[in-house]
Amino acid sequence: MSRRRLARVFWLGAAAILVAAALVSLVAILKGGFSDTDGRILGTLGALLYTGGAALAGLALLTRDRAPALAWAVLVVAGVTFATLAAALWDLGRDDDTVWRLAASAALFLLAGLVCTTGLLLTTRPSLQPLPLLAGALTALAVSLTLVPIWRDDDPGSALAKAIGVTWVLATLAYFLGPVLQRWSAVGEQTDSGDRLLASLDGVDLVATRHPGTDVVVAERPRASERLVLRRSL
């Protein structure tokens, strides 16, 4: 099965899961009583929404041929996170808190991957690409520090609490700084009304302009995985 066909099957399956999840949620809410089973169903759907969103971000990176190793890592962690969250919600593990701690750990590390992938999707300029990578690394560090008191079941202490707070703040700063600088640079470009020559072939130029005049305008935009090229007619 080709990569494109596999992607189409996945998206169709994701749409079917969304419809089924919405129907189950509506039945659980509208039938009146709210039992433990209903709570577990809604919790499972919430876990599916979170992990599915991360998986979609990873697939978006794959379709754009960007950071494939990171994209596959996010997809794998998303699957593991959903499995551990479902096991914790439905009491499929041990009686102690180990399963819940594992689920929380997986969910938090998935957050680091989600921060990195969405940051890369929102920041397309090569000069700004290090920012989402830095945000993902800082989030992973913040998650690691946060999990220390969770697994030790102890007070983190003043020094560790400050380190946790600082890393979370820096991760948030790096994550939002990329898209903000992207928009800032885009606004700066809008003040430049000159034409830009993108490519040329046999006297035909591909030009980016704000004033097309009588020139032929390329109205259709390329798809996510496509690139515009100039090619001689056979």
Residue 15 in tokens: 């749409």
**Domain count within the chain:** 1
- Per the model's pLDDT, the better-predicted residue between 70 and 124 turns out to be 70
Residue 57: partners with Cβ closer than 8 Å, 6 or more residues away? 74, 114, 117, 118, 121
In a domain, residue 143? The reply is yes
Better-predicted residue by pLDDT, 90 or 78: 78
149 burial level (CB within 10 Å; 0-12, 13-18, 19+): middle
Phi/psi at 150 (nearest 5 deg)?
-65, -45
| Residue 201 in domain | no
Dihedral sign computed on CA atoms, order 111, 113, 117, 122? positive
> Does 92 fall in a domain?
yes
**Residues in the chain, total:** 234
- The residue with greater pLDDT, 181 or 27, is 181
Q: What is the mean pLDDT of residues 22-41?
A: 72
Residue with tokens 């099957």: 9
Q: Structural domain of residue 45, as residue ranges?
A: 3-190
pLDDT band for 3, please (50, 70, 90 cuts). low
Q: What are 61-65's contacts with CB under 8 Å, separation 24+?
A: 61/117, 61/120, 61/121, 62/7, 63/7, 63/224, 63/225, 64/121, 64/224, 64/225, 65/225
Q: Chain-wide mean pLDDT for the chain?
A: 80
Q: Kindly state whether residue 163 falls inside one of the protein's structural domains.
A: yes
User: Which of the four pLDDT bands, split at 50, 70 and 90, describes residue 94?
Assistant: low
Sequence-distant (6+) residues with CB within 8 A of 204 are: 230
Tell which wins on pLDDT, 82 or 182.
82
Out of 24-33, 139-148, 177-186, give the one with best mean pLDDT. Answer: 139-148
